[in-house]
Amino acid sequence: MRKKGNFFPTTYEGPMIQPICRMGNPILRKKTEEISKDYLLSDDFRQLLIDLRDSMKHYGGIGIAAPQIGVDLQVAIIELMGFNRYGEEVNLPLTTFVNPKIEYLTNEEQGFWEGCLSVPGLRGFVERPKKVRVRYLNEKAEPQEIVAEGFLATVLQHELDHLQGILYVDRIKDPKLLSYQEEFEQFIQAQTLE
């Protein structure tokens, strides 16, 4: 039974895993609706956050946005605790981004190979601004701000793009830098580690 008023239930009822919407589903191509404060403080919203968290963990993601589980609302979650990739250690506890606004703090770009739960089996090289600021509400409707550089800046941009109807494949400048996951691991990742 879910306890009213808590962010997560105190009695675990099992995962609330939702199917992931994949590229081609029209919900992934529309700008999402802002969340009202009343809805943000509702039990329905808390359930949505549980669904997002459980689905992200089940499918092995580090972030997920509401449209990816078929919900047309401006919310995404990201968790990168102890995450280390590309020589960067990133420690971001499970964070909820409601109605986020992103500001690019530099024109300097960086590139990373990105993957996405909604584009399974593929990796693509995407160049994005290296430093961003995001203003958002947390799950308690409190205003928050985060400034991020490096890989975390890329993750934020990737997840928040979902709320604007944009997939990472739209941002690939060179279509030759799109690969199936297995080939990426065999030919590209192996080459970058040498």
| Strand-pair partners of 145 | 135
Q: Active site includes 159?
A: yes
Q: Which of 159, 182, 185, 194 is catalytic?
A: 159
Q: CA of 132: how far to CAs of 36, 67, 105, 120, 149, in Å?
A: 25, 22, 5, 27, 7
Give the length of the chain: 194
Give me the DSSP letters along 12-56: -------PPP-TT-GGGGSPPBPPPHHHHTSHHHHHHHHHHHHHH
Q: Which residues form the catalytic set?
A: 159
